[in-house]
């Protein structure tokens, strides 16, 4: 079975030790977490982990099974890239004088649909949201001019299919 | 904590009492029906021990000689009673010494709650004296764990701990309690936990899965059942028996499934796995439908997965969805508690007999008996065999004793030859293979089943890993029968060295002390046997003793356990010699 990108979405209680439990599941199997994001979800009081891995479907399915087994996990799903709408965000910190010295930078900003978040005498900050490769392209374009700082977030994703968490919670409560 | 709040609203209001956290912990234990705990005191758990002193008429604390012993004793107690075992320790080294037992309980699905003291909240993260991150350390080997830093959390968390430990697929839970939470006061009210909103203890079978399973079972020509501890944990022994007898299907067991079905039942065909019986292993690769009940296809059961039961359709009765398709791809999974799923499938399966198919198991048993079993249990050669000791215990106990074994050759021999009429009678470390498990587990087993004989079968290696627990047996006069099968070697490793490492016996030869004198030092009645002529009488004397009894049997030094599936080989490559 071939390896590919999978986005694992975990709905859970907001519990302090859970990240450790979940990351241990990957560690034990030598599967690298390519990206990880934790946020609130569409349901109040329910957290959502978005984890990206590059592995086989078989391993992904087994990992999801182990994650779901954790007491505070309500439900975990996995999806391929085709089944999700996904984005990453990046921030670039660049010296302000370059904006005037290097005309090309303004073109890069326009072409990449990036936003200028702040500008002061020393530096300006650019925010870019998009697919990994789009952020990489922008990064590569800016690199020759000098990037003071760069950071990219983990993937966030929503699925095309429904995730019936409310119903599942209901069912758990009734059991 | 949303769930806990919600539950509180529903419950009837009780009158709160103002007590310390330490006293609250005792009340929680009592409310959960705990009357016996194993542990070891120390700085960070002293407030709780102070309360144990005050409550000693209601709650017995057994001081083991090492915290590992406390966990294994709690496991032995849990396995023989089906109740939650409780172990307690202080912070730091006390807590880390629990880890082996916790890992053992995790892999063998044993309900256990471990309570550890922790340094006071303000010192957390400061590398304080005896501070260790036991929650971090125990995370991969617990079903759940939690650090209590505020006294108010105690009742909710303790209730949740017991509920999680015993429900669904049981397992160990660790609750770490900082010293400030033990000293502080709260208005104590206890509500038992009956649900956790994100946790589903036992799934329901998927629609149609029972029917599909029944169809496969009914149309099978050579069906074969392999059952595991799930039957015992689900208390589904009667349901298993009814299912086996109605369908007439030969049934074999994993090492932890042993005693779930009478070993003398005509359809009980023995043990699967590395040192299991010849027939069930060979015929795994000839059956047309393999019905796995409450077992998890461990590598010691399956051997090489690529050649495991490839010809068969596989039906898996399982409580833990993560076990389905983990090691072996199955055709039908019947999710749920084994007691429920087995009773639900019973009306769907046809009455049947599989005489010709069963005869194949009998034929293979005869081959195994002639080749090795007879020589193991009725030897004519000079040295004593482990098998004949087990056979003598069978005869003296009338198949009624609880057998606790340690890990190694003696364990395999004990499980191969021991006879049982009653469930929850075979207590051994299966998944983790923890040497040192036997002696403390036997203490817990005996204290959990005072009306039954408990015989510990231990090798000379594992015995010395937890030998200090003889102190508990002496102090509390726990009448366990301890049998050390002494071959002056780490026998199982030596066997592998002989077979796979050209007899290079690296660190497997043991120069042993005088075990009888050690037992005598603890004032335990003891005897050594090295001649066959004395064996039967010695075993009878041991079994007749009202007090603890230690019996050392000097067995042949270089005997091997057969049959054997070499590591990584196919079940059908099982070797009889």
Contact in structure between B98 and B123 (CB atoms under 8 Å): no
Nearest to B79 by CA among B544, B338, B437: B437
Structure tokens at B91: 């912070």
pLDDT level of residue B21 (50, 70, 90 thresholds): very high
How far, CA to CA in Å, does A113 sit from each of A99, A109, A127, A153, B401? 16, 6, 9, 17, 77
Q: Any catalytic annotation for residue B447? A: no
Q: How is A24-55 classified by DSSP, letter by letter?
A: HHHHHTT----EEEEEE-SSTTEEEEEEEEEE
Look at B146 and A169 and tell me if their CB atoms are within 8 Å: no
Specify the residue for token string 């000079």. B382
Mean pLDDT over residues B557-576, rounded? Answer: 96
Question: Around B191, how many Cα atoms within 13 Å sit in the side-chain half-sphere?
Answer: 20
Q: Any catalytic annotation for residue B552? A: no
Of B139, B197, B201, the CB nearest to A20: B139
Within 10 angstroms of residue B91's Cβ, the number of other Cβ atoms is: 25
Q: Which stretch of DSSP H or E encloses residue B412? A: helix B409-417
- Residue A24 has φ and ψ, to the nearest 5°, of -60, -35
Look at A172 and B200 and tell me if their CB atoms are within 8 Å: yes
Write out chain A residues lying below 8 Å of B143, CB-based.
Answer: 71
Q: Any catalytic annotation for residue B129? A: yes
ipTM of the complex: 0.91
Q: What's the whole-model pTM score? A: 0.95
Mean pLDDT over residues B433-450, rounded? Answer: 98
Evaluated on CA atoms B7, B8, B10, B14, the torsion sign reads: positive
Of B139, B195, B322, the CB nearest to A66: B322
Nearest to A106 by CA among A149, A150, A153, A145: A145
The Cα–Cα gap between B446 and B444 comes to 5
Q: How many A-B residue pairs are in contact by the CB < 8 A criterion?
A: 55
Nearest to B440 by CA among B6, B97, B190, B167: B97
pLDDT of residue B14: 73
Contact in structure between B222 and B359 (CB atoms under 8 Å): no
pLDDT by residue (tens digit) across A73-129?
999 999 999 999 999 999 999 999 998 888 899 999 999 999 999 999 999 999 999
* Contacts with B364 (C-beta within 8 Å, 6 or more apart), sequence order: B277, B278, B279, B282, B283
pLDDT level of residue B390 (50, 70, 90 thresholds): very high
Q: Which stretch of DSSP H or E encloses residue A88? A: strand A84-95
Q: Which member of B129, B185, B310, B400 is catalytic?
A: B129
pLDDT of residue B8: 46
Contact status of B10 with chain A (Cβ, < 8 Å): no
Q: How many residues does chain B have?
A: 577
A173 has pLDDT over 80: no
Mean pLDDT over residues B220-238, rounded? Answer: 98
Contact in structure between B64 and B469 (CB atoms under 8 Å): yes
pLDDT by residue (tens digit) across B193-203?
999 999 999 99
Strand A84-95 to A3-13 pairing: unpaired
CA angle B313, B315, B318 (to 5 degrees): 155
Within 10 angstroms of residue B306's Cβ, the number of other Cβ atoms is: 8
The Cα–Cα gap between B394 and B414 comes to 10
By three-state DSSP, how is residue B444 classified? helix
B131 has pLDDT over 80: yes
Of A20, A65, A71, the CB nearest to B198: A71
């Amino acid at each position: 079975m071939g390896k590919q990108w999978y986005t694992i979405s975990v709905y859970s209680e907001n519990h302090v030790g859970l990240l450790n439990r979940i990351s241990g599941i990957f560690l034990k199997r030598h599967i690298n977490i390519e990206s990880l994001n934790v946020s609130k979800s569409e349901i109040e009081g329910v957290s959502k982990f978005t984890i990206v891995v590059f592995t086989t479907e078989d391993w992904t399915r087994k990992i999801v099974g182990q994650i779901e087994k954790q007491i505070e996990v309500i439900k975990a799903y996995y999806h391929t890239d085709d089944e999700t709408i996904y984005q990453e965000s990046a921030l670039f910190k660049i010296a302000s004088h370059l904006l005037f010295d290097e005309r090309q930078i303004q073109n890069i900003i326009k072409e990449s649909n990036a936003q200028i978040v702040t500008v002061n005498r020393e530096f300006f900050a650019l925010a870019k949201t998009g697919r990994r490769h789009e952020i990489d392209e922008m990064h590569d374009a800016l690199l020759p001019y000098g990037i003071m700082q760069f950071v990219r977030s983990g993937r966030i994703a929503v699925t095309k299919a429904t995730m019936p968490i409310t119903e599942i919670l209901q069912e758990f409560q009734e059991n | 904590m949303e769930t806990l709040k919600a539950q509180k609203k529903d419950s009837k209001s009780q009158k709160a009492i103002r007590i310390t956290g330490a006293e609250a912990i005792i009340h929680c234990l009592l409310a959960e029906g705990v009357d016996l705990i194993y542990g070891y005191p120390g700085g960070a758990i002293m407030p709780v021990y102070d309360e144990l002193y005050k409550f000693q008429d209601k709650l017995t604390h057994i001081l083991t000689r090492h915290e590992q012993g406390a966990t294994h004793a709690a496991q032995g107690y849990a396995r023989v009673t089906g109740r939650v075992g409780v172990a307690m320790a202080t912070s730091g080294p006390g807590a880390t010494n629990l880890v082996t037992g916790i890992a053992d309980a995790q892999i063998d699905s044993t309900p256990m709650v471990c309570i550890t003291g922790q340094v006071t909240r303000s010192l957390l993260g400061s590398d304080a004296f005896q501070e260790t991150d036991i929650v971090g350390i125990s995370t991969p080997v617990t079903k759940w764990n939690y650090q209590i830093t505020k006294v108010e959390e105690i009742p909710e968390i303790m209730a949740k701990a017991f509920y999680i430990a015993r429900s669904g697929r049981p397992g160990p839970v660790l609750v770490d309690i900082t010293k400030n939470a033990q000293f502080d006061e709260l208005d104590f009210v206890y509500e038992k936990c009956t649900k956790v909103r994100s946790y589903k203890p036992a799934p329901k079978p998927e629609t149609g899965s029972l029917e599909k399973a029944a169809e496969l079972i009914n149309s099978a020509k050579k069906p074969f059942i392999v059952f595991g501890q799930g039957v015992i944990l689900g208390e589904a022994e009667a349901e298993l028996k009814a299912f086996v007898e109605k369908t007439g299907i030969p049934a074999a067991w994993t090492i932890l499934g042993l005693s779930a079905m009478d070993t003398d039942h005509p359809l009980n065909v023995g043990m699967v796995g590395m040192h299991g019986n010849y027939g069930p292993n060979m015929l795994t690769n000839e059956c047309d439908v393999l019905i796995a009940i409450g077992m998890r296809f461990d590598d010691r059961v399956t051997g090489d997965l690529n050649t495991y039961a490839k010809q068969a359709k596989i039906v898996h009765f399982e409580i833990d969805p993560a076990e389905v398709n983990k090691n072996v791809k199955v055709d039908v999974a019947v999710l749920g508690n084994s007691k429920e799923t087995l009773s639900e499938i019973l009306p769907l399966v046809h009455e049947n007999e599989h005489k010709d198919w069963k005869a194949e198991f009998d034929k293979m048993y005869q081959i195994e008996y002639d080749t090795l079993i007879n020589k193991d249990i009725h030897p004519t050669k000079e040295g004593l065999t482990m098998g004949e000791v087990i056979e003598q215990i069978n005869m003296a106990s009338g198949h009624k004793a609880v057998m606790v074994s340690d890990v190694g050759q003696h364990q395999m021999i004990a499980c191969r030859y021991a006879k049982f009429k009653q469930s929850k009678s075979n207590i051994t470390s299966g998944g983790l293979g923890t040497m040192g498990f036997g002696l403390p587990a036997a203490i817990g087993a005996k204290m959990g089943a005072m009306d039954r004989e408990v015989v510990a079968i231990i090798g000379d290696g594992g015995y010395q890993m937890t030998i200090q627990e003889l102190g508990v047996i002496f102090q509390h006069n726990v009448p366990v029968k301890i049998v050390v099968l002494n071959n002056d070697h780490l026998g199982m490793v030596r066997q592998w060295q002989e077979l796979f490492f050209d007899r290079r016996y690296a660190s497997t030869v043991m120069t042993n002390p005088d075990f009888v004198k050690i037992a005598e030092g603890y004032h335990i009645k003891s005897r050594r046997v090295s001649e066959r002529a004395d064996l039967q009488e010695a075993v009878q004397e041991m079994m007749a003793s009202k007090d603890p009894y230690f019996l050392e049997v000097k067995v042949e030094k270089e005997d091997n356990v057969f049959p054997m599936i070499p590591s990584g080989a196919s079940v059908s490559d099982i070797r009889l010699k």
